[in-house]
Amino acid sequence: MIEIDDGAAGQRIDNFLLRVCKGVPKSHIYRILRSGEVRVNKGRVDAQYRLEHGDLVRVPPIRIAQASEAAQAAPVPAAHFDILFEDDHMLVIDKPAGVAVHGGSGVAFGVIEQLREARPQAKFLELVHRLDRETSGVLMLAKKRAALVNLHEQIRENRMDKRYYAGVHGEWASDWGRRRAVKEPLHKYLTADGERRVRVQADGLASHTVFNLVKRWPDYALLEAELKTGRTHQIRVHLAHLNLPIVGDAKYGDFALNKDLARTNARPGLKRMFLHAYRLKLAHPATGAVLQFEAPLPAECRRFIDQLNDLNQGETPETDTHG
């Protein structure tokens, strides 16, 4: 018997059971719901039932098959990430580049699975938003369902201020000034080998990014990106559309340049994608207080900027005061 607290209130019973009964196939979860073996306050419920605070849920005994040897050999490793903020409602971390936010699409596990493994006592822990695997920076998780619902509402209503730093290759056009808005619609599609991609397409989803020039050198620039919508790969595709591909972007970038920059002794050199979620501003989901989280630019990105500065000594790169 499980009594529902604030952490699970509002959650659908099927999702709650999938979480409580780790390793049990979805088909079995839905079977025990249909058969009435799961009871809420001594009554039958369907899979769409939303739990309420104080509900008593009976979870029947469930036998599960022995895990395969492969699964036993590769457990999810617990991981600890740099914490930018934490309270009873939310957890904000600085995600490193190269780590997926969740498992799937050939990735065995990600940040969410590793954090759940590291915090077995946590009753509720869910991603509020996503970052691409090769993007670093501010990543927010909810520790209560009510917080998750509130934060998703802020995202839908564009009340969160998300800022990224992007290192790009190309020339920032002089007639753009310091600020360039892009409102090109984006369309998701799959490549012939099943890989997810995005392109600018007239009948795509409305998308809006604002780019602010922070600093520029011959052939390169450091930009601040403001996300006004949150489409998949939005910043990367909008920049490629401007002929300013992100340095190190393996999907939409300049592949020959990326290969040169990744060479051991390259100057400037970079072996990752230069996209970093450096700032997030929002209202606290419980108190409404304004919060701002910042993740410092990673060392490899700072080194790339330092090398550009060194290579262009004697010239005066244009600089802005963003950030």
Contact 226, 210 (CB under 8 A): yes
State yes or no: is 161 an active-site residue.
no
Q: What is the DSSP letter of 30?
A: H
Contacts 24+ apart (CB under 8 A), 51-56: 51/4, 51/8, 51/9, 51/10, 51/11, 51/12, 51/13, 51/16, 52/4, 52/9, 52/10, 53/4, 53/5, 53/6, 53/9, 54/3, 54/4, 55/3, 55/4, 56/1, 56/2, 56/3, 56/4
Give CA–CA dist 60/77, Å, rounded: 29
Q: Which residue in 14, 55, 132, 249 is the catalytic one?
A: 132
Q: DSSP letters of 46-70?
A: -TTPBP-TT-EEE------PPPPHH
Distance CA 193, CA 300 (A): 32
Which residue type, as a one-letter code, is found at position 278? Y
Active site residues: 132
